[in-house]
Amino acid sequence: MGLRIMIAKNSGFGKLDKKKLEKAIESSYSRLSMSMLHYVEDCVGCMSCKVACPYWYVDHRYSPVNKAEELRYIYRKTTTLSGKLLGKLAKAKFPETEEDIERMVEFAYKCSECGMCYISCPFGIDSGEMINVLRMILTNLGTTPTNLKVLSEIEVKGLQAKLPETMRIWGEALQKARAKIGKELPLDKEADIIVMPSLFDAFITPDAIANTAYILEKAGVNWSMPSKPMLMKPFTAWLLGDLSSAALIGKRLVEYVKAYKGKTLITIDGGIYYYFMRWVYPEVANELLPFEVKHIIELVYELYKQNKLAFNKIDDKITWHNPCKLGRKGGVIKEPKTILKAIAPNYKDLPHHDSENICCGGGGGMALQTQECTRKLEKLTGMKIKEMISEKEKKYLYRQEKVYYLALERKAKDIDKIKPDIVVTACPTCVLSLNHASLLYGPSYKVVHFVDIVAKALE
């Protein structure tokens, strides 16, 4: 019931409340650092970033520089002398109308925060980071896409461990894992390695938990995992720029790992989850972690290098799609390729790979704002989410979904150039998007999680 009351407030989507807006802008200054000031003030407008963005290919207004300009308007107004003195002449202004808010939300949610614009900018400007600040302002203003808001609130309140349907999915995933390793799972036990899957892992990549367990058992690792899902769609709050909620959720994980004396926290999801816990959590929680955070790929790599894992060869032609927040933004580049090359003699890099890997187009909450996702969320939560979406948001969602599906084509074409049998990845959102890309644009390939292919090579 509490959840329904909270969501009912989402009728404020796209509404302008000037007092709220001022407060939202004020609170965003907590993100104003030396580098952020550089991002805001030092763009020369060369537009080198445009070709890096998956959404620019759909609409030229979605170039990173153009989207980030929404934040620059606001910050120029308050942080620069010219903005204060000249106002609109210096391109400095606050949103004044609901149309301004609608444009802000449209631009803020056409970003997967893939980091490609960051490295392609001749001046090292991270437009994705700026767009996250823009989302922070919008969230504090009360303008958050409903699906993302539901996912975030479920996780903040820990409801994924209480809802009947989510627990059924979780239970099935654990049952699969038990069957795979042929014994009881080490649940809620002290161990060096704590694997922390999310409900999203169990839902989108149902074999990933089982195969992770299988790999760890094969390598003889001392590991355990929680008996209940501690995360829904991990750290959606961070996607919304809601850092305090994200830190709160992260804190729960930290407490859990500490309670079970874990030395390493392992994520199966290579999306925001890994990136947030590995790189962002210490910053937003102002706390150094007393354990390491690794993606399962990094652990498999270490075990392989220690000769604790030996692979059978797989004949399929496989390729690797590195999730942006694991690879380009997270720094895990060589590990997955080393393993996949050891497994598959027919391994082939995508035309765009490593730091230049093309984003699947689904990150940053893009893949989660479709009607299909709304239907699945309704089933998962038992809530009537469609009824919670205002007419204004419906218009936004119509365009949002269209842009998302169109943006997938670029990735589909990149994959189609090498025509693989299997595309391996390591992020549930990438799995979703790559499947959508295959369905919509034709290249016929199977998308599997990294642990699925490794487990197969260990059988």
Partner 1 sequence: MVLLINGIDIFVFALNYMFPVALIIFIIGSTYKLARFAILRSPTKTRAPPRKKSVKSLVKGLVMTFLEPIILSIKKNPLDFIFGLVLLHMLGTIPMLFLLGQHVAFFQHYFKLYGILWPLALPLSPTTSSVLTFSTTIPTKTIVEFTNVWGPLNIILNGDVLSICVIVAIGFKIADKLMEKKAGVQSIRPWDWLSLFLLLGIVVTGFLAAHHYPSADETTAQTTITYRDIMGLHVLLADILLLSIPFTNMWHITFSYFYGKLHEFWDMRIRKGLE
Q: Which 48-67 positions form the footprint of partner 1 (CB under 8 A)?
A: 48, 50-52, 60-61, 63, 65-66
For 295, the 3-state DSSP assignment is strand
CA distance 459 to 440: 33
Token representation of residue 86: 């000249």
- Residue 70 · residue 104 · CB < 8 Å: yes
Stretch that binds partner 1, among 46-54, 150-158, 223-231, 441-449 (CB under 8 A): 46-54
Contacts 24+ apart (CB under 8 A), 99-104: 100/16, 101/14, 101/15, 101/16, 101/138, 101/141, 101/143, 102/14, 102/392, 102/396, 103/70, 104/70, 104/134, 104/137, 104/138, 104/143
Closest separation in Å from C-beta 198 to partner 1 = 20
- Residue 106 · residue 112 · CB < 8 Å: no
Query: Among 331, 376, 413, 441, which residue sits at the site for partner 1 (rule: CB under 8 A)?
Result: 331
Quick check: 321 binds partner 1 (CB under 8 A)? no
Q: Which 338-367 positions form the footprint of partner 1 (CB under 8 A)?
A: 354-356
CA distance 197 to 193: 13
Please say which residue, 106 or 153, places its beta carbon nearer to partner 1.
Answer: 106
Quick check: 120 binds partner 1 (CB under 8 A)? yes
Please say which residue, 30 or 444, places its beta carbon nearer to partner 1.
Answer: 30
Q: Which 278-317 positions form the footprint of partner 1 (CB under 8 A)?
A: 278-279, 281-283, 285-289, 293
Please say which residue, 71 or 148, places its beta carbon nearer to partner 1.
Answer: 71
Order of all β-strands in the sheet with 264-267: 223-224, 193-195, 264-267, 292-295
**Helices 428-441, 391-416: crossing angle, 10 deg rounding:** 80
- Residue 411 · residue 434 · CB < 8 Å: yes
Number of residues that bind partner 1 (CB under 8 A): 61
Query: Among 15, 38, 93, 341, which residue sits at the site for partner 1 (rule: CB under 8 A)?
Result: 38
H or E segment to which residue 23 belongs: helix 18-28
Q: Which residues of 336-353 are buried (b: 16+ CB within 10 A; e: fewer)?
A: bbebbebbbebbbebebb
Quick check: 413 binds partner 1 (CB under 8 A)? no
Quick check: 248 binds partner 1 (CB under 8 A)? no
Please say which residue, 291 or 311, places its beta carbon nearer to partner 1.
Answer: 291
H or E segment to which residue 224 belongs: strand 223-224
Please say which residue, 100 or 378, places its beta carbon nearer to partner 1.
Answer: 100
Q: Which 70-99 positions form the footprint of partner 1 (CB under 8 A)?
A: 72, 82, 89-91
Contacts of 121 by beta carbon, 8 Å cutoff, 6+ apart: 48, 49, 64, 127
Q: Which 261-280 positions form the footprint of partner 1 (CB under 8 A)?
A: 278-279
Quick check: 333 binds partner 1 (CB under 8 A)? yes
Which residues in this chain contact partner 1 in the complex, by CB under 8 A? Answer: 30-35, 37-38, 41-48, 50-52, 60-61, 63, 65-66, 68-69, 72, 82, 89-91, 115, 118-126, 278-279, 281-283, 285-289, 293, 328-331, 333-334, 354-356
